[in-house]
Amino acid sequence: MRYFTGIDIGSTASKVVVLDEASLVDRFVLPTGWSSKETAAAVAQRLAESGRPVDGEMKVVATGYGRVAVDYAAKTVTEITCHGRGGYALLGEDCTIVDIGGQDTKVITVENGLPTSFLMNDKCSAGTGKFLEIMANRLGVDLQTLFDLAAKGSPLAISSMCTVFAESEVISHIGAGEPREDIAAGVVDSVISKVAGLCARHTLKGAVFLTGGLCDSAYLVDRLGAKLGASVRSHPMGRYAGALGAALIARGAKGGNRI
């Protein structure tokens, strides 16, 4: 095999990483849309266009909640193991990975390069990317603007544990004429508190490493660090951690973690 591809079909975005024996050769993100099957087909098409068809010299491992839809994958592995493997490869040391995903948030302990234990949020979108997305929509801004606004505000209390009720709280704040910056800061604070609550139920070992789609926000990384009282690290490839882990698994143990 020449190429080893990891495909991470998340609830919001699908991430793809292509490795060869020694290094990273390609990576891209597609929106997942409404059908994981169609997304999987779109990924295959994109790979073919770049001259690396999935039915050629390629081994594919799929992960993420839509992993079963990737019918050309040699195998599927859960996003927990993949984030652990990929996160370790990016950071280069044992750590605790916090992945704030589109529909769930995970805390994963990595020891000797392998995930050894994990916690996931309960069946609820509070404390996930979905929560931020819903609230950004309510404020009429995109996610990046939400973070920009939040950085300028001081957080208002949004205390409900339920996204639907929290949305009502946001609406009350809007109705009361509170500044958007403060509401945005409250929204981010609410997510961070829930993520920190999940972390508190898990023994944090080593550095805290934020992966997933939100790790590009320096503001979020900073706020999480403040809440946890620990330094939180991120990486430009952080949102690809799951796909990278899948690609490394496709390449097998002999391939090591070279990227």
Which residues in this chain contact another protein in the complex, by CB under 8 A?
65, 77-81, 104, 114-118, 120, 122-123
- Residue (128 or 217) nearer to another protein, CB: 128
Give the residue among 10, 80, 5, 37 at the shortest CA–CA distance from 246.
5
Nearer to another protein, 114 or 171 (CB): 114
Please name the helix (run of DSSP H) or strand (run of DSSP E) that holds residue 187, with its range, or none.
Answer: helix 180-200
Contact 95, 88 (CB under 8 A): yes
**Per the structure block, which two tokens stand in for 177?**
């004429």
CA 223 from chain centre, in angstroms, equals 17
Nearer to another protein, 80 or 134 (CB): 80
User: What's the closest the beta carbon of residue 17 comes to another protein, in angstroms?
Assistant: 19
- What single DSSP character describes residue 59? E
Rank residues 153 and 242 by Cβ distance to another protein and give the closer one. Answer: 242
Least spacing, CB of residue 75 vs another protein, in Å: 11
Q: Which is nearer to another protein, 188 or 249 (CB)?
A: 249
Q: Report, in Å, the least distance between residue 193 CB and another protein.
A: 20
Ramachandran class of 140: left when φ > 0, alpha when ψ lies in -120 to 50, beta otherwise: left
Tokens of 156: 């208002």
Q: Measured from the CB atom, is 123 or 254 closer to another protein?
A: 123
Task: Report the nearest approach of another protein to the CB of residue 118 (Å).
Answer: 6
Least distance from another protein to the Cβ atom of residue 223, Å: 26
CB of 14 to another protein, least distance (A): 16
HSE-up of residue 102 (Cα within 13 Å, Cβ side): 16
Q: Of 4 and 118, which has the nearer Cβ to another protein?
A: 118
User: Which residues, including other chains, have CB under 8 Å from residue 164's CB and lie 6 or more apart?
Assistant: none
* CB-based contact 214:98 (threshold 8 Å): no
Smallest CA-to-CA distance from 240 within 37, 69, 64, 39 is with: 64
CB of 113 to another protein, least distance (A): 12
Backbone angles phi, psi at 13, to 5 degrees: -125, 150
